[in-house]
Amino acid sequence: MRNKPERRYIILVRILISVTAIAIMFVSCRNNKDKSDHSSLIPEKTFVSILTDVYIADGLLSLPELRSMFSKRDSISNYLDIIESYGYSYETMNSTINYYFINKPKKLIKIYDQVIKNLSEIQSDVQKKITSEMEGKAVKTMGNIAYYLPDTTLKEPPGFKYTISTPGTYTLTFTVTIYPDDQSFNPSFTSWYCNADSAETGKRIYLPPIKYIKDGHRHTFTIKSKAPSIGLVNFNGLFYDYENNPDEWGKHARIENISFSFTGIMPV
């Protein structure tokens, strides 16, 4: 994992590249009659807000879905919309950027520090909301479920499917009792990841299985792992898997106390 100074440096470089590119676009769009007026610069607080929004827009426009939606517009129009929403023109924005670049570069670094702070706070808020929604969904999906076998009403093997949309760490806990008269062969817990867009036909990435003991005692298992950073994935599993085909009355097991929690990680 990158340390905080490295992460701060990377974000700063990204902002510098984005804003510098935008500044160049502003300069190239100006005609010879435009004149910079350093007496009417954008106030620092508002300038920070505009840079924050510009950087977010630059990131969003890198997404294929949004890029295609705005492909018919020229490269500067989207940023002009942001600037004009604050009540300023591109000439004023250009004058402000040039002023700090040329006259107060150290001040510009402090402004970028504030932009980084804003971005980090926004990112943290969004991550908390995503994590909260995912954890809430996990409680609804898995919080009150228990399986008592044999169960002739059960249409599918005891298992779960959970969709993970952001990198993070999950913890799955459950209690299993397999009785000595259970007729399944090698009963176990199995789980795997697969791409959510190809859940039925896509490649499965299996986690190590957990072999059960048929001793009639309760055994609690906790699985903690990092979700793969491969986009939207399904985390699937079977609490009661086996290698033969016992009839329903040959199964004698209990799966209970199921809980699932997820902690998201802010991407760098």
Whether 123 and 199 share a structural domain: no
In a domain, 248, yes or no: yes
Which domain CATH number covers 205? 2.60.120
Give which of 266, 262, 193 is closest to 232, Cα–Cα.
193
Same domain, 86 and 152: no
> Are 53 and 115 spatial neighbours (Cβ–Cβ below 8 Å)?
no
Q: Quick one: 160 and 208 in the same domain?
A: yes
58 or 252, which is more confident? 252
Give the structural domain span for 112: 4-132
Q: Is 97 exposed, middle or buried (0-12, 13-18, 19+ CB in 10 A)?
A: buried
The average confidence (pLDDT) of the chain is 77
For residues 151 and 260, membership in a common domain is answered with yes
Q: Select from 132, 160, 187 the last residue of a domain.
A: 132
Same domain, 75 and 158: no
Q: Which residues contact 37 (CB under 8 A, 6 or more apart)?
A: 91, 92, 95
Please check whether residue 166 lies inside any domain of the structure: yes
| Any domain includes 138 | no
The tally of domains found in the chain comes to 2
Let me know whether 95 and 169 are in one domain. Answer: no
Band (pLDDT 50/70/90 cuts) for residue 262 is confident
**How much is the pLDDT for 231?**
64
Residue finishing a domain among 132, 158, 179: 132
The answer as to whether 176 is a domain residue is yes
pLDDT band at 237 (very low <50, low <70, confident <90, very high): very high
pTM of the model: 0.48
Asked, for residue 122, whether it belongs to a domain, the answer is yes
Q: Among the ranges 1-5, 37-41, 51-55, which has the highest mean pLDDT value?
A: 51-55
Q: Do 80 and 39 fall into the same domain? A: yes
pLDDT class of 4 with cuts at 50, 70, 90: very low
Structure tokens at 115: 């932009």
Of the candidates 213, 224, 212, which has an alpha carbon nearest to the alpha carbon of residue 260? 224
pLDDT above 70: residue 201: no
- Quick one: 148 and 240 in the same domain? yes
Assess if residue 43 is contained within a domain.
yes
Residue 36 scores a pLDDT above 50: no
Q: Residue 13 belongs to what H/E stretch?
A: helix 4-29
Backbone angles phi, psi at 120, to 5 degrees: -65, -40
Average pLDDT estimate for 231-239: 85
Answer whether residue 137 is part of any domain.
no
Q: Does 128 lie in the same domain as 179?
A: no
Q: Same structural domain for residues 40 and 59?
A: yes
Select from 85, 110, 132 the last residue of a domain. 132
